[in-house]
Amino acid sequence: MYDRKILKKLEEARARYEEEVARILKERGETGYRTPSGIEVKPLYTPLDVSGTDYERDIAFPGHYPYTRGLFPAGFRSRPWNLRQVVGLGTAEETNARCRYLLSQGQTALGIVGAVKSGMGGYGYDTDDERTIGFAGKDGVQLDTLADYETLFAGIDLDKVSVHLISPSAVALACYINVCRKRGKELRHIKGSMSNQVRPGRECLDIIEFCARNMPDFNATYIDVRNVREAGCTAPQEIAFGIAFGMAAADALLERGLDIDQFAPRITWFVNAGPEFFEEVAKFRAMRRLWAKTMRERYGAKDPRSWRMRAHCQTYAPSLTYQQPLNNIIRSTLYALAAVMGGVQSLSVNSFDEVLAIPTEFSATLSLRTQQIIYFESGVSEVTDPLGGSYYVEWLTNRLEEEASRLVETIQSMGGAFKARAWMEQQVREAAFRQQKEIDEGKRVWVGVNAFVEPDDRQLQFVTSQGTDLLYRYDPAIRDKQIARLNKVRAERDPQAVERAKLRLREAFRNRENVLPAFIQATAAYMSGGEIAQVCREVLGDTDDYFYYSHAAYFPAT
Partner 1 sequence: LPQPKVLLIRDDELHTRGYYVVAQALREAGMEVVLGGVQTPREAAATAAQEDVDLIGYHIMTGAPVILLEQLFHRLREAGVQAPVVVGGALAAEEIPRLKALGVAEVYLPGTPLNDIVAQLRRLL
Exactly one of 81, 135, 278, 392 binds partner 1 (CB under 8 A); which one? 135
CA–CA dist 387, 313 (Å, integer): 19
Exactly one of 49, 94, 126, 139 binds partner 1 (CB under 8 A); which one? 139
Nearer to partner 1, 65 or 446 (CB): 446
Nearer to partner 1, 436 or 487 (CB): 436
Exactly one of 130, 255, 377, 456 binds partner 1 (CB under 8 A); which one? 130
Rg of the chain taking only CA atoms, in angstroms = 24
Give least dist CB 226 to partner 1, A: 11
Nearer to partner 1, 138 or 502 (CB): 138
Exactly one of 355, 447, 489, 540 binds partner 1 (CB under 8 A); which one? 355
Q: How far is CA 265 from CA 197, 213, 261, 308, in A?
A: 15, 13, 6, 7
- Residues in 504-543 at the binding interface with partner 1, rule: CB under 8 A: none
Give least dist CB 470 to partner 1, A: 12
CA–CA dist 404, 283 (Å, integer): 10
Q: How far is CA 37 from CA 32, 49, 58, 318, 434, in A?
A: 14, 20, 23, 15, 10
CA–CA dist 446, 444 (Å, integer): 6
195 binds partner 1 (CB under 8 A): no
362 binds partner 1 (CB under 8 A): no
- Residue 273 has phi, psi (to 5 degrees) of -145, 115
Exactly one of 155, 389, 476, 495 binds partner 1 (CB under 8 A); which one? 476
Taken in order 74, 79, 80, 81, the sign of the CA dihedral is: negative
Nearer to partner 1, 258 or 356 (CB): 356
116 binds partner 1 (CB under 8 A): yes
Site string for partner 1, 221-250 (x = CB under 8 A): ------x--xxx------------------
DSSP H or E stretch at residue 428: helix 421-440
Find, among 154, 155, 152, the residue nearest to 142 by Cα: 152
Give least dist CB 141 to partner 1, A: 13
Q: Specify burial of residue 100 (Cβ count, 10 A radius: 0-12, 13-18, 19+).
A: middle
Give least dist CB 323 to partner 1, A: 6
- Residues in 295-354 at the binding interface with partner 1, rule: CB under 8 A: 318, 321-323
Exactly one of 409, 440, 499, 538 binds partner 1 (CB under 8 A); which one? 440
Exactly one of 43, 134, 155, 415 binds partner 1 (CB under 8 A); which one? 134
101 binds partner 1 (CB under 8 A): no
Nearer to partner 1, 162 or 550 (CB): 550
Find, among 369, 370, 345, the residue nearest to 79 by Cα: 345
- Residues in 403-432 at the binding interface with partner 1, rule: CB under 8 A: 429, 432
For residue 86, give every residue at least 6 positions away whose Cβ sits within 8 Å of its Cβ, in sequence order, or none.
111, 112, 113, 166, 314, 348
Exactly one of 151, 372, 412, 464 binds partner 1 (CB under 8 A); which one? 464
Exactly one of 289, 310, 485, 551 binds partner 1 (CB under 8 A); which one? 551
Give least dist CB 241 to partner 1, A: 15
**Which amino acid, 370?**
T
97 binds partner 1 (CB under 8 A): no
Exactly one of 41, 187, 471, 498 binds partner 1 (CB under 8 A); which one? 471
Give least dist CB 466 to partner 1, A: 9
Widest pairwise Cα distance in the chain:
85
Find, among 174, 118, 109, 110, the residue nearest to 144 by Cα: 118
Q: How far is CA 164 from CA 27, 214, 382, in A?
A: 54, 18, 26
Nearer to partner 1, 138 or 481 (CB): 138
Give least dist CB 480 to partner 1, A: 13
- Considering CB under 8 A, how many residues would be counted as binding partner 1? 41
Nearer to partner 1, 111 or 232 (CB): 232
Give least dist CB 339 to partner 1, A: 21
Q: 162-166 and 109-113 as β-strands: parallel, antiparallel, unpaired?
A: parallel
CA–CA dist 230, 221 (Å, integer): 20
Q: How is the beta sheet containing 86-87 ordered, strand by strand?
A: 86-87, 109-113, 162-166, 192-194, 218-219
Nearer to partner 1, 49 or 224 (CB): 224
Full DSSP string of 464-528: H-TTTT-S----THHHHHHHHHHHHHHHHS-HHHHHHHHHHHHHHHHTT---HHHHHHHHHTT--
Find, among 157, 140, 29, 127, the residue nearest to 90 by Cα: 140
CA 348 to mean position of chain CA atoms: 9
Nearer to partner 1, 230 or 279 (CB): 230
47 binds partner 1 (CB under 8 A): no
474 binds partner 1 (CB under 8 A): yes
Exactly one of 31, 104, 511, 558 binds partner 1 (CB under 8 A); which one? 558
**How would you write 23-74 as a 3-class SS string?**
HHHHHCCCCCEECCCCCEECCCCCHHHHCCCCHHHHHCCCCCCCCCCCCCCC
Give least dist CB 549 to partner 1, A: 9
Find, among 547, 505, 546, the residue nearest to 524 by Cα: 505
Binding residues for partner 1, rule: CB under 8 A, are 116-117, 130-131, 133-135, 138-139, 227, 230-232, 318, 321-323, 355-357, 429, 432-433, 436-437, 439-440, 446, 449-450, 460, 464, 471, 474, 476, 550-552, 555, 557-558
